[in-house]
Structure 1
Protein backbone atom coordinates (compact mmCIF):
# COMPACT_ATOMS: atom_id res chain seq x y z
CA UNK A 1 0.00 0.00 0.00
CA UNK A 2 1.38 3.40 -1.00
CA UNK A 3 1.39 5.99 1.79
CA UNK A 4 -0.35 9.30 1.19
CA UNK A 5 2.10 12.15 0.61
CA UNK A 6 1.26 15.21 2.69
CA UNK A 7 4.30 17.20 1.52
CA UNK A 8 6.02 16.97 -1.86
CA UNK A 9 9.10 19.07 -2.55
CA UNK A 10 10.05 19.01 -6.21
CA UNK A 11 13.50 20.22 -7.24
CA UNK A 12 13.52 23.24 -4.95
CA UNK A 13 16.42 25.70 -5.13
CA UNK A 14 16.86 28.84 -3.05
CA UNK A 15 19.56 31.46 -2.60
CA UNK A 16 20.26 34.48 -0.42
CA UNK A 17 22.17 37.28 -2.11
CA UNK A 18 23.40 34.94 -4.84
CA UNK A 19 24.64 32.39 -2.30
CA UNK A 20 23.05 29.00 -2.88
CA UNK A 21 21.36 27.76 0.31
CA UNK A 22 19.37 24.86 -1.14
CA UNK A 23 20.11 23.20 -4.45
CA UNK A 24 17.68 20.88 -6.28
CA UNK A 25 15.92 19.48 -3.20
CA UNK A 26 13.53 16.64 -3.95
CA UNK A 27 11.66 15.14 -1.03
CA UNK A 28 8.32 13.54 -0.14
CA UNK A 29 6.86 13.22 3.34
CA UNK A 30 4.37 10.38 3.96
CA UNK A 31 1.34 10.94 6.15
CA UNK A 32 1.90 9.96 9.78
CA UNK A 33 5.71 9.83 9.60
CA UNK A 34 8.20 11.49 11.95
CA UNK A 35 10.91 13.04 9.80
CA UNK A 36 14.11 14.24 11.49
CA UNK A 37 16.09 16.84 9.52
CA UNK A 38 19.81 16.94 10.33
CA UNK A 39 22.95 18.48 8.89
CA UNK A 40 25.77 20.92 9.68
CA UNK A 41 25.46 24.63 10.41
CA UNK A 42 24.38 26.59 7.35
CA UNK A 43 23.09 23.51 5.55
CA UNK A 44 19.66 25.03 4.85
CA UNK A 45 17.55 23.12 7.39
CA UNK A 46 15.63 26.10 8.79
CA UNK A 47 15.36 27.61 5.32
CA UNK A 48 13.69 24.42 4.11
CA UNK A 49 11.10 24.67 6.89
CA UNK A 50 10.41 28.32 6.01
CA UNK A 51 9.86 27.35 2.39
CA UNK A 52 7.38 24.65 3.39
CA UNK A 53 5.56 27.15 5.63
CA UNK A 54 5.34 29.69 2.80
CA UNK A 55 7.50 32.23 4.66
CA UNK A 56 9.96 32.14 1.76
CA UNK A 57 9.45 31.42 -1.92
CA UNK A 58 11.72 29.08 -3.86
CA UNK A 59 13.72 30.38 -6.80
CA UNK A 60 13.05 27.12 -8.64
CA UNK A 61 10.81 24.10 -8.22
CA UNK A 62 7.53 23.72 -6.41
CA UNK A 63 6.00 22.51 -3.16
CA UNK A 64 2.74 20.59 -2.85
CA UNK A 65 0.84 20.46 0.44
CA UNK A 66 -1.78 17.72 0.71
CA UNK A 67 -1.53 17.35 -3.06
CA UNK A 68 -2.21 21.04 -3.77
CA UNK A 69 0.26 23.56 -5.13
CA UNK A 70 1.48 25.73 -2.29
CA UNK A 71 0.66 28.92 -4.24
CA UNK A 72 -3.02 27.95 -4.12
CA UNK A 73 -3.02 26.41 -0.64
CA UNK A 74 -5.15 28.31 1.88
CA UNK A 75 -5.81 25.82 4.70
CA UNK A 76 -2.81 26.79 6.80
CA UNK A 77 -4.55 25.72 10.01
CA UNK A 78 -3.74 22.17 8.86
CA UNK A 79 -0.07 22.91 9.58
CA UNK A 80 1.25 23.79 13.05
CA UNK A 81 4.66 25.32 13.77
CA UNK A 82 6.85 25.39 16.87
CA UNK A 83 10.08 27.38 16.71
CA UNK A 84 12.76 28.10 19.27
CA UNK A 85 10.95 29.64 22.24
CA UNK A 86 13.26 32.63 22.50
CA UNK A 87 12.71 33.58 18.87
CA UNK A 88 8.96 33.10 18.71
CA UNK A 89 7.41 34.68 21.78
CA UNK A 90 8.01 37.52 24.22
CA UNK A 91 7.75 35.68 27.53
CA UNK A 92 7.53 38.98 29.38
CA UNK A 93 4.14 39.60 27.77
CA UNK A 94 1.44 39.44 30.50
CA UNK A 95 -0.54 36.56 28.99
CA UNK A 96 -1.72 33.41 30.70
CA UNK A 97 -1.15 29.91 29.39
CA UNK A 98 -4.82 29.81 28.32
CA UNK A 99 -4.46 33.07 26.38
CA UNK A 100 -1.24 31.97 24.65
CA UNK A 101 -2.81 28.70 23.52
CA UNK A 102 -5.98 30.54 22.44
CA UNK A 103 -3.85 32.67 20.10
CA UNK A 104 -3.27 29.49 18.10
CA UNK A 105 -6.88 29.70 16.92
CA UNK A 106 -6.47 33.17 15.37
CA UNK A 107 -5.81 31.78 11.90
CA UNK A 108 -8.88 29.59 12.13
CA UNK A 109 -11.30 32.12 13.65
CA UNK A 110 -9.97 35.49 12.54
CA UNK A 111 -8.47 38.22 14.68
CA UNK A 112 -11.58 39.65 16.32
CA UNK A 113 -13.86 36.62 16.67
CA UNK A 114 -14.99 35.69 20.16
CA UNK A 115 -14.25 32.26 21.56
CA UNK A 116 -17.27 30.01 21.70
CA UNK A 117 -17.67 27.22 24.29
CA UNK A 118 -16.43 24.62 21.79
CA UNK A 119 -13.27 26.68 21.20
CA UNK A 120 -12.64 26.93 24.92
CA UNK A 121 -12.98 23.17 25.18
CA UNK A 122 -10.45 22.76 22.36
CA UNK A 123 -8.01 25.06 24.18
CA UNK A 124 -8.37 23.18 27.46
CA UNK A 125 -7.97 19.86 25.66
CA UNK A 126 -4.72 21.02 24.02
CA UNK A 127 -3.40 22.25 27.38
CA UNK A 128 -4.30 18.94 29.00
CA UNK A 129 -2.62 17.00 26.22
CA UNK A 130 0.74 18.62 27.02
CA UNK A 131 0.28 18.18 30.76
CA UNK A 132 -0.15 21.85 31.66
CA UNK A 133 -3.73 21.99 32.97
CA UNK A 134 -2.70 23.02 36.50
CA UNK A 135 -0.84 26.02 35.02
CA UNK A 136 -3.69 27.13 32.76
CA UNK A 137 -4.08 30.57 34.32
CA UNK A 138 -0.44 31.11 35.22
CA UNK A 139 1.48 33.85 33.38
CA UNK A 140 3.66 32.42 30.63
CA UNK A 141 6.73 34.28 31.91
CA UNK A 142 6.47 32.52 35.28
CA UNK A 143 7.06 29.09 33.77
CA UNK A 144 10.30 27.20 33.24
CA UNK A 145 11.75 26.82 29.74
CA UNK A 146 10.44 23.27 29.44
CA UNK A 147 6.97 24.29 30.60
CA UNK A 148 6.88 27.21 28.19
CA UNK A 149 7.77 24.95 25.30
CA UNK A 150 4.92 22.62 26.22
CA UNK A 151 2.60 25.62 26.03
CA UNK A 152 3.92 26.48 22.57
CA UNK A 153 3.20 22.93 21.44
CA UNK A 154 -0.36 23.30 22.77
CA UNK A 155 -0.71 26.58 20.85
CA UNK A 156 0.48 24.83 17.68
CA UNK A 157 -1.91 21.86 18.02
CA UNK A 158 -5.05 23.64 19.27
CA UNK A 159 -6.36 24.01 15.70
CA UNK A 160 -5.84 20.24 15.28
CA UNK A 161 -3.24 20.40 12.49
CA UNK A 162 -2.34 17.37 10.43
CA UNK A 163 1.32 18.37 10.16
CA UNK A 164 3.48 19.76 12.98
CA UNK A 165 6.77 21.42 12.03
CA UNK A 166 9.35 22.03 14.76
CA UNK A 167 12.55 24.08 14.37
CA UNK A 168 15.08 23.50 17.16
CA UNK A 169 12.28 23.27 19.76
CA UNK A 170 14.42 21.90 22.61
CA UNK A 171 17.09 24.60 22.69
CA UNK A 172 17.55 25.66 26.31
CA UNK A 173 15.38 22.83 27.64
CA UNK A 174 16.95 20.50 30.22
CA UNK A 175 17.32 16.75 29.64
CA UNK A 176 14.35 15.76 31.83
CA UNK A 177 12.01 18.11 29.98
CA UNK A 178 13.39 16.98 26.62
CA UNK A 179 12.26 13.43 27.46
CA UNK A 180 8.82 14.75 28.39
CA UNK A 181 8.75 16.77 25.15
CA UNK A 182 9.33 13.66 23.03
CA UNK A 183 6.65 11.75 24.93
CA UNK A 184 4.18 14.46 23.95
CA UNK A 185 5.20 14.19 20.29
CA UNK A 186 4.90 10.41 20.40
CA UNK A 187 1.40 10.74 21.86
CA UNK A 188 0.36 13.21 19.15
CA UNK A 189 1.65 10.90 16.44
CA UNK A 190 -0.05 7.82 17.87
CA UNK A 191 -3.35 9.36 18.98
CA UNK A 192 -3.91 11.97 16.28
CA UNK A 193 -1.83 10.58 13.43
CA UNK A 194 0.03 13.89 13.11
CA UNK A 195 2.93 14.04 10.65
CA UNK A 196 6.04 15.47 12.34
CA UNK A 197 8.97 17.34 10.78
CA UNK A 198 11.69 18.37 13.19
CA UNK A 199 15.09 20.06 13.04
CA UNK A 200 17.15 19.60 16.20
CA UNK A 201 20.69 20.22 17.42
CA UNK A 202 20.33 17.17 19.68
CA UNK A 203 20.91 14.54 17.01
CA UNK A 204 20.92 11.47 19.28
CA UNK A 205 17.60 12.34 20.92
CA UNK A 206 16.02 13.05 17.54
CA UNK A 207 17.29 9.78 16.05
CA UNK A 208 15.82 7.83 18.96
CA UNK A 209 12.32 9.03 18.02
CA UNK A 210 12.20 9.83 14.29
CA UNK A 211 11.34 7.02 11.89
CA UNK A 212 12.84 8.76 8.84
CA UNK A 213 15.86 11.04 8.45
CA UNK A 214 16.96 13.63 5.94
CA UNK A 215 20.62 14.60 6.00
CA UNK A 216 20.77 18.01 4.38
CA UNK A 217 23.79 19.99 3.29
CA UNK A 218 22.42 22.30 0.60
CA UNK A 219 21.46 19.09 -1.16
CA UNK A 220 19.75 15.98 0.17
CA UNK A 221 22.67 13.67 0.90
CA UNK A 222 20.58 11.02 2.62
CA UNK A 223 16.87 10.32 2.91
CA UNK A 224 15.57 7.11 4.36
CA UNK A 225 14.87 4.95 7.38
CA UNK A 226 16.42 6.05 10.68
CA UNK A 227 18.08 2.68 11.29
CA UNK A 228 19.69 2.84 7.86
CA UNK A 229 21.01 6.32 8.63
CA UNK A 230 22.44 5.12 11.95
CA UNK A 231 24.25 2.28 10.20
CA UNK A 232 26.18 4.67 7.93
CA UNK A 233 26.33 7.70 10.17
CA UNK A 234 29.73 7.00 11.66
CA UNK A 235 31.21 6.32 8.25
CA UNK A 236 29.77 9.26 6.31
CA UNK A 237 28.39 11.94 8.63
CA UNK A 238 29.88 11.75 12.14
CA UNK A 239 32.29 14.68 11.72
CA UNK A 240 29.71 17.21 10.63
CA UNK A 241 26.25 16.28 11.93
CA UNK A 242 26.76 17.16 15.57
CA UNK A 243 25.91 20.83 15.15
CA UNK A 244 22.77 22.89 14.82
CA UNK A 245 21.08 24.47 11.82
Structure 2
Protein backbone atom coordinates (compact mmCIF):
# COMPACT_ATOMS: atom_id res chain seq x y z
CA UNK A 1 0.00 0.00 0.00
CA UNK A 2 1.15 3.56 -0.69
CA UNK A 3 2.98 5.14 2.21
CA UNK A 4 4.44 1.86 3.39
CA UNK A 5 8.16 2.11 4.17
CA UNK A 6 10.17 0.01 1.72
CA UNK A 7 13.44 0.94 3.44
CA UNK A 8 13.80 1.88 7.10
CA UNK A 9 17.10 2.90 8.71
CA UNK A 10 17.07 3.12 12.50
CA UNK A 11 19.91 4.67 14.55
CA UNK A 12 22.62 3.24 12.30
CA UNK A 13 26.27 3.89 13.16
CA UNK A 14 29.32 2.49 11.37
CA UNK A 15 33.05 2.94 11.76
CA UNK A 16 36.17 1.66 10.04
CA UNK A 17 38.60 0.83 12.86
CA UNK A 18 38.56 4.10 14.85
CA UNK A 19 37.03 6.34 12.20
CA UNK A 20 33.32 7.06 12.57
CA UNK A 21 31.72 7.16 9.12
CA UNK A 22 28.02 7.08 10.05
CA UNK A 23 26.62 8.33 13.34
CA UNK A 24 23.05 7.63 14.47
CA UNK A 25 21.40 7.72 11.02
CA UNK A 26 17.60 7.39 10.99
CA UNK A 27 15.33 7.86 7.99
CA UNK A 28 12.93 5.89 5.81
CA UNK A 29 11.99 5.58 2.15
CA UNK A 30 8.22 5.22 1.61
CA UNK A 31 6.78 3.20 -1.24
CA UNK A 32 6.55 5.24 -4.43
CA UNK A 33 9.06 7.89 -3.31
CA UNK A 34 11.97 9.26 -5.33
CA UNK A 35 14.60 10.01 -2.68
CA UNK A 36 17.81 11.91 -3.33
CA UNK A 37 20.70 11.10 -0.96
CA UNK A 38 23.20 13.96 -1.05
CA UNK A 39 26.40 14.85 0.76
CA UNK A 40 30.06 15.71 0.14
CA UNK A 41 32.77 13.19 -0.69
CA UNK A 42 33.59 11.12 2.40
CA UNK A 43 30.20 11.79 3.96
CA UNK A 44 29.34 8.10 4.30
CA UNK A 45 26.91 7.75 1.37
CA UNK A 46 28.69 4.75 -0.18
CA UNK A 47 29.10 3.11 3.23
CA UNK A 48 25.38 3.53 3.90
CA UNK A 49 24.54 1.92 0.55
CA UNK A 50 26.77 -1.04 1.41
CA UNK A 51 24.94 -1.41 4.73
CA UNK A 52 21.57 -1.29 2.95
CA UNK A 53 22.73 -3.97 0.51
CA UNK A 54 24.01 -6.19 3.32
CA UNK A 55 27.66 -5.87 2.29
CA UNK A 56 28.59 -4.21 5.59
CA UNK A 57 27.08 -4.67 9.04
CA UNK A 58 26.54 -1.58 11.20
CA UNK A 59 28.04 -1.58 14.68
CA UNK A 60 24.80 -0.03 15.96
CA UNK A 61 21.23 0.20 14.73
CA UNK A 62 19.20 -1.76 12.23
CA UNK A 63 18.16 -1.55 8.58
CA UNK A 64 14.91 -3.04 7.30
CA UNK A 65 13.94 -3.85 3.71
CA UNK A 66 10.23 -4.44 3.17
CA UNK A 67 9.87 -4.86 6.93
CA UNK A 68 12.63 -7.50 7.23
CA UNK A 69 16.07 -6.91 8.75
CA UNK A 70 18.77 -6.85 6.09
CA UNK A 71 20.60 -9.68 7.89
CA UNK A 72 17.56 -11.92 7.28
CA UNK A 73 16.43 -10.50 3.93
CA UNK A 74 16.31 -13.03 1.07
CA UNK A 75 14.18 -11.41 -1.64
CA UNK A 76 16.99 -9.52 -3.36
CA UNK A 77 15.17 -9.73 -6.71
CA UNK A 78 12.89 -7.01 -5.29
CA UNK A 79 15.85 -4.59 -5.36
CA UNK A 80 17.79 -3.28 -8.34
CA UNK A 81 21.20 -1.63 -7.97
CA UNK A 82 23.28 0.41 -10.40
CA UNK A 83 26.75 1.19 -9.10
CA UNK A 84 28.72 4.36 -9.71
CA UNK A 85 31.08 2.44 -11.96
CA UNK A 86 28.47 0.43 -13.88
CA UNK A 87 29.91 1.77 -17.10
CA UNK A 88 33.37 0.40 -16.24
CA UNK A 89 31.87 -2.84 -17.57
CA UNK A 90 34.23 -4.40 -20.13
CA UNK A 91 32.70 -2.72 -23.14
CA UNK A 92 34.97 -4.73 -25.45
CA UNK A 93 32.99 -7.81 -24.49
CA UNK A 94 30.97 -8.93 -27.54
CA UNK A 95 27.49 -8.44 -26.09
CA UNK A 96 24.53 -6.57 -27.51
CA UNK A 97 22.26 -4.25 -25.54
CA UNK A 98 19.62 -7.01 -25.52
CA UNK A 99 22.10 -9.56 -24.13
CA UNK A 100 23.38 -7.23 -21.40
CA UNK A 101 19.84 -6.45 -20.24
CA UNK A 102 18.85 -10.13 -20.41
CA UNK A 103 21.77 -10.95 -18.09
CA UNK A 104 19.80 -9.14 -15.38
CA UNK A 105 17.41 -12.12 -15.31
CA UNK A 106 20.05 -14.78 -14.69
CA UNK A 107 20.26 -14.16 -10.95
CA UNK A 108 16.54 -14.80 -10.68
CA UNK A 109 16.18 -17.57 -13.26
CA UNK A 110 19.56 -19.31 -13.27
CA UNK A 111 22.43 -19.08 -15.73
CA UNK A 112 21.85 -22.07 -17.99
CA UNK A 113 18.27 -21.98 -19.16
CA UNK A 114 16.32 -20.67 -22.11
CA UNK A 115 14.11 -17.63 -21.76
CA UNK A 116 10.39 -17.97 -22.33
CA UNK A 117 8.51 -15.55 -24.58
CA UNK A 118 7.30 -13.75 -21.44
CA UNK A 119 10.88 -13.25 -20.24
CA UNK A 120 12.01 -12.07 -23.68
CA UNK A 121 9.16 -9.57 -23.62
CA UNK A 122 10.32 -8.36 -20.17
CA UNK A 123 13.77 -7.65 -21.66
CA UNK A 124 12.25 -5.65 -24.52
CA UNK A 125 10.04 -3.70 -22.10
CA UNK A 126 13.02 -2.82 -19.89
CA UNK A 127 14.98 -1.61 -22.92
CA UNK A 128 12.00 0.45 -24.06
CA UNK A 129 11.55 1.93 -20.56
CA UNK A 130 15.00 3.53 -20.75
CA UNK A 131 14.58 4.70 -24.34
CA UNK A 132 17.08 2.31 -25.93
CA UNK A 133 14.84 0.17 -28.17
CA UNK A 134 16.47 1.23 -31.44
CA UNK A 135 19.88 0.21 -30.06
CA UNK A 136 18.88 -3.25 -28.81
CA UNK A 137 20.97 -5.11 -31.40
CA UNK A 138 23.99 -2.82 -31.05
CA UNK A 139 27.16 -3.82 -29.21
CA UNK A 140 27.41 -2.27 -25.75
CA UNK A 141 30.91 -0.98 -26.52
CA UNK A 142 29.64 1.15 -29.39
CA UNK A 143 27.43 3.30 -27.15
CA UNK A 144 28.16 6.58 -25.37
CA UNK A 145 28.63 6.64 -21.59
CA UNK A 146 25.10 7.92 -21.06
CA UNK A 147 23.62 5.26 -23.33
CA UNK A 148 25.57 2.54 -21.54
CA UNK A 149 24.27 3.78 -18.19
CA UNK A 150 20.70 3.56 -19.51
CA UNK A 151 21.39 -0.05 -20.53
CA UNK A 152 22.67 -0.89 -17.04
CA UNK A 153 19.53 0.63 -15.54
CA UNK A 154 17.48 -1.54 -17.90
CA UNK A 155 19.45 -4.56 -16.69
CA UNK A 156 18.65 -3.57 -13.10
CA UNK A 157 14.91 -3.18 -13.73
CA UNK A 158 14.33 -6.17 -16.04
CA UNK A 159 13.40 -8.38 -13.08
CA UNK A 160 10.83 -5.72 -12.10
CA UNK A 161 12.30 -4.61 -8.74
CA UNK A 162 10.21 -2.53 -6.37
CA UNK A 163 13.21 -0.50 -5.19
CA UNK A 164 15.97 0.79 -7.47
CA UNK A 165 19.16 2.15 -5.87
CA UNK A 166 21.44 4.27 -8.05
CA UNK A 167 24.91 5.40 -6.98
CA UNK A 168 25.90 8.55 -8.92
CA UNK A 169 24.21 7.37 -12.14
CA UNK A 170 25.20 10.47 -14.15
CA UNK A 171 28.92 9.60 -13.97
CA UNK A 172 29.96 9.32 -17.60
CA UNK A 173 26.79 10.99 -18.88
CA UNK A 174 27.40 14.00 -21.13
CA UNK A 175 26.25 17.19 -19.39
CA UNK A 176 23.90 17.99 -22.29
CA UNK A 177 22.04 14.71 -21.75
CA UNK A 178 21.75 14.85 -17.95
CA UNK A 179 18.27 16.43 -18.04
CA UNK A 180 16.98 13.69 -20.36
CA UNK A 181 18.56 11.12 -18.07
CA UNK A 182 16.75 12.47 -15.00
CA UNK A 183 13.51 12.67 -16.99
CA UNK A 184 13.92 8.96 -17.71
CA UNK A 185 14.32 8.24 -13.97
CA UNK A 186 11.23 10.33 -13.27
CA UNK A 187 9.33 8.20 -15.79
CA UNK A 188 10.44 4.99 -14.05
CA UNK A 189 9.22 6.39 -10.75
CA UNK A 190 5.92 7.90 -11.86
CA UNK A 191 4.73 5.48 -14.52
CA UNK A 192 6.34 2.17 -13.59
CA UNK A 193 5.89 2.80 -9.86
CA UNK A 194 9.50 1.95 -8.97
CA UNK A 195 10.68 3.49 -5.70
CA UNK A 196 14.05 5.21 -6.28
CA UNK A 197 16.97 5.95 -3.97
CA UNK A 198 19.43 8.14 -5.86
CA UNK A 199 22.89 9.09 -4.58
CA UNK A 200 24.04 12.29 -6.28
CA UNK A 201 26.10 15.46 -5.93
CA UNK A 202 23.76 17.37 -8.24
CA UNK A 203 21.74 19.34 -5.69
CA UNK A 204 20.21 21.73 -8.24
CA UNK A 205 18.70 18.87 -10.22
CA UNK A 206 17.41 16.76 -7.36
CA UNK A 207 15.34 19.55 -5.85
CA UNK A 208 13.46 19.63 -9.16
CA UNK A 209 13.15 15.88 -9.72
CA UNK A 210 12.93 13.98 -6.42
CA UNK A 211 10.12 13.83 -3.87
CA UNK A 212 12.35 13.63 -0.76
CA UNK A 213 15.94 14.50 0.17
CA UNK A 214 18.30 13.05 2.77
CA UNK A 215 21.41 15.16 3.37
CA UNK A 216 24.25 13.17 4.91
CA UNK A 217 27.65 14.11 6.28
CA UNK A 218 28.37 11.37 8.83
CA UNK A 219 25.28 12.67 10.65
CA UNK A 220 21.91 13.11 8.96
CA UNK A 221 21.53 16.89 8.67
CA UNK A 222 18.26 16.93 6.80
CA UNK A 223 15.51 14.54 5.79
CA UNK A 224 12.24 15.72 4.34
CA UNK A 225 10.33 16.72 1.24
CA UNK A 226 12.19 18.17 -1.72
CA UNK A 227 10.36 21.50 -1.54
CA UNK A 228 11.47 21.92 2.09
CA UNK A 229 15.06 21.18 1.08
CA UNK A 230 14.82 23.70 -1.76
CA UNK A 231 13.89 26.40 0.76
CA UNK A 232 17.11 25.95 2.73
CA UNK A 233 19.48 28.87 2.35
CA UNK A 234 22.89 28.35 0.76
CA UNK A 235 24.41 29.34 4.11
CA UNK A 236 22.67 26.40 5.80
CA UNK A 237 23.73 23.99 3.05
CA UNK A 238 27.31 25.23 3.29
CA UNK A 239 27.20 24.31 6.99
CA UNK A 240 25.97 20.82 6.08
CA UNK A 241 28.73 20.35 3.53
CA UNK A 242 31.52 22.00 5.50
CA UNK A 243 32.44 24.44 2.72
CA UNK A 244 30.77 27.26 0.73
CA UNK A 245 28.08 25.89 -1.57
CA UNK A 246 26.15 27.53 -4.38
CA UNK A 247 23.00 25.84 -5.65
CA UNK A 248 22.48 26.09 -9.41
CA UNK A 249 19.12 25.32 -10.96
CA UNK A 250 19.03 23.34 -14.21
CA UNK A 251 15.65 24.65 -15.28
CA UNK A 252 15.51 26.27 -18.71
Cα drift, residue 2 of structure 1: 7.8
- Which residue number corresponds to residue 83 of structure 1? 83
The question of whether the paired residues in 2 share the 8 Å contact of 1:101 and 1:123 is answered with yes
Cα drift, residue 110 of structure 1: 1.8
- Which residue number corresponds to residue 155 of structure 2? 155
Q: Deviations over 1:88-133 (max 9, x none)?
A: 5222222111111011112211222322221111001111111111
C-alpha RMSD over aligned residues? 1.9
TM-score by length of 1: 0.93
The question of whether the paired residues in 2 share the 8 Å contact of 1:85 and 1:149 is answered with no
| 1:32 paired to 2:19 | no
- Which residue number corresponds to residue 167 of structure 2? 167
Cα drift, residue 59 of structure 1: 1.5
Distance 1:88 1:74 in 2: 28
Q: 1:87 to 1:46 in 2, by over 3 A?
A: farther
Distance 1:87 1:46 in 2: 17
- Which residue number corresponds to residue 46 of structure 2? 46
1:165-204 correspondence to structure 2 within 5 Å: 165-204=165-204
Distance 1:38 1:198 in 2: 8
Unaligned runs of 5+ in 1: none
Q: Deviations over 1:107-166 (max 9, x none)?
A: 211222322221111001111111111111111010011111110110011000100100
1:61-72 correspondence to structure 2 within 5 Å: 61-72=61-72
The question of whether the paired residues in 1 share the 8 Å contact of 2:126 and 2:155 is answered with yes
- Which residue number corresponds to residue 119 of structure 2? 119
- Which residue number corresponds to residue 108 of structure 1? 108
SS state at 1:114 partner: coil
Unaligned runs of 5+ in 2: 247-252
For CA contacts below 8 A with separation 6 or more, give which structure has more relative contact order.
Answer: 1
- The alignment of Structure 1 onto Structure 2 pairs a total of residues equal to 243
- Which residue number corresponds to residue 249 of structure 2? none
SS state at 1:137 partner: coil
